[in-house]
Structure 1
Amino acid sequence: MATLICVPYAGGSAQVYKRWTGKLHPSLRLVPAELAGRGSRMGQPFYRNTTEAVQDLMPMVREAASRPEPYALFGHSMGSLLVYELLHALIEEKVPLPIAAFLSGRGAPHCELEQQRRLHELPDDKFLDEVKGLGGMPAELFQHRELLNLFLPILRADFKLVGEYEPQKRKPLPLRLTILSGKEDSTVKGLLSEWEPYATGGCDRVLFEGGHFFVHEQEKDVVSLINKTLTEVPALI
């Protein structure tokens, strides 16, 4: 068995990955991370920055790393950023690294920084227009004001976390990364090859049909890639 910890995108909760239950290989145990301020943790204060988010997620990852079986990390968009920062935190704490790290729907840190945007500072209408343009959000969300009022603070907090993130210059990660992206995803800045210097083992770059939320649009293929990658690890065969 292996544990697969999945970190959601901006506005997302653990629920976005629970749909993978029963689709992952039987040797994989799905652990969807629930971020503060949404889902089962509704009402808890939002993270002020990536450091707080990583500190909150670390106990879950430490627990997985302490088990005799291996573990892997998956993150999409904001989740990809948090997984990247988690990897560096694991190295700093000398916690065993995952057997695989899937970074989805986000460009290399230095590329994203060059195109940094302050979407969270826009007025509600313009901010929501930008969010709609990304896709992935149910249409009924924008039609019910009460639901929107509940969801809007979560989105703003997450976009603020991403928008104010500034990468640090650090040594490459001592592993190989798997980079996933939608062929029509205009939100990803820079070439995917820009991720290469961030890991000593380089990167496997995989393109899928679709835009920013290809993880839902091409769910079967994404899960198939995860299954193939993780079941090729000798300990899991």
Structure 2
Amino acid sequence: MNDKYLQLFILPYAGGSIASFRRLTDLIDKRIDVIPVEYPGRGIRAKEPLCESLSDLLGDAISYCKKRRIESIPYAVFGYSMGTLLGYEMLVRRELSGELKHFFVAAEVAPQTRALELRQEKNPSDEIVLQRAKELGGLNEKLLKNKRFADIYLKPMISDYKHFFEYRFKDDFKKIECNATFFYCEKDTAIYDVQKWEQLISGEFEYYEMGDDHFFINALYEEMASIINDKLTSYLKG
């Protein structure tokens, strides 16, 4: 007999894995079935080839979630940076069956804004990807010199980041019907661009400014887990 009352699907940022969110997921209420998505080419799927396109990455994430979806209980989705765009596309296409309760958006502007920004840039070289990752606060200089680290972490990150530039926003959408919580860092994603998510979602919205850089989850996972628990436990029965 299933003792869970709600499912939470977690979609990581570019280069991220299940391990990237372990400190957060360990703190989620035990009545919630937490399902971090593992993209190919890392973590427990390290032996699988990396996806060749953003479409492949999205399709894989959708398949991963569908296989684990329990239709008899409601669900929520948490996306971080690139994972937020994948989560949005999954939800706007109504890929998962059952009742959607909540969408957690972390470190990402609205997709219509992101698509415009990406269109203005050329596909980046590996060097540019690494430089931007450093600027976002996601890379340790010492680890960059470690070949094993480079093989395990940098290859997936570079691959994901380049796929990010393939994103195109379609404006013939139907609004996602659920409540939404937004985690953002003003230095990374301006509140003005985050608030544009309200054009795409029909529900109640709450905003939480977090930390000093793109990867605020690393320092503030406890605070984020507390907020997530507060939102999701309000939907639980019993």
TM-score normalised over the length of structure 2: 0.86
Q: 2:87 aligns with which of 83, 87, 93?
A: 83
Residue pair 1:136, 1:213 contacting (<8 A) in 2 also: yes
SS at match of 2:203: coil
Q: Pick which of 167-176 and 100-109 moved more.
A: 167-176
CA contact (8 A) 2:84 2:108 kept: yes
Equivalent residues in 2 for 1:111-130, closer than 5 Å: 111-116=113-118, 118=121, 121-124=124-127, 126-130=128-132
Identity %: 25
Superposed CA offset, 1:126-149 (max 9, x none):
432221111133444213134224
- SS for the counterpart of 1:19 is helix
Deviations 1:108-130 (A, max 9, x none): 11111222165752253x43222
Matched-pair contact (CA < 8 Å) for 2:74–2:99? no
User: Matched residue of 2:206: which SS?
Assistant: strand
Per-residue CA deviations over 1:33-72 (Å, capped at 9, x if unaligned) read: 1001111212323223333222212233334443422221
Q: Distance in 2 between matches of 1:189 and 1:41?
A: 35
After TM superposition, the structure 1 = structure 2 runs for residues 147-186 of structure 1, keeping only pairs within 5 Å, are 147-169=149-171, 170-186=173-189
Instruction: State the superposition RMSD in angstroms.
Output: 2.3
Q: Which residue of 2 aligns with 1:194?
A: 196
> CA 1:120–1:14 in structure 2 vs 1: closer, same or farther (change >3 Å)?
farther
Structure 2's unaligned 5+ residue stretches are none
TM (normalized to structure 1)?
Answer: 0.87
Distance in 2 separating the partners of 1:216 and 1:26:
22
Could you say if the C-alpha distance between residues 119 and 204 of structure 1 is closer, same or farther in structure 2, counting changes exceeding 3 Å?
Answer: farther
Match of 2:64 in 1: 60
Higher RCO structure, 1 or 2 (CA under 8 Å, sep 6+):
2
* Counterpart mapping for 1:11-30 below 5 A: 11-30=15-34
Aligned residues: 232
Preserved contact between residue 8 and residue 35 of structure 2 (Cα < 8 Å): yes
